[in-house]
Amino acid sequence: EIMKTACMARNTIKSIRSELEESNNDYKKVMPSDGDVMPPHFFPKGLRLDSEGYVVLMRD
């Protein structure tokens, strides 16, 4: 029983590690290679925007 539990734990850890590696690879694909970083945007507390308003705000 102990060996079965140990094997299950080991397989779970391997699964989590592989998922993290895959997600890190996906993250690298999305990041620009030129190093540009979007400046932070601060919104007034309670501001509510729809998608069109958000896009307009980001363009300004």
What tens-digit pLDDT sequence spans the chain (60 residues)?
667 676 676 767 666 666 666 555 555 555 556 666 677 777 788 888 888 888 887 776
**Cα–Cα separations (whole angstroms), residue 60 to 3, 26, 30, 47, 53:** 61, 29, 23, 16, 11
| pTM greater than 0.75 | no
Q: 19-31 in b/e burial notation, b at 16+ Cβ within 10 A?
A: eeeeeeeeeeeee
Which helix (H) or strand (E) is 54 found in, with range? helix 51-59
In DSSP notation, 8-38 reads HHHHHHHHHHHHHHHHHHHHHHHS-TT---P
Domain positions in the chain: 2-59
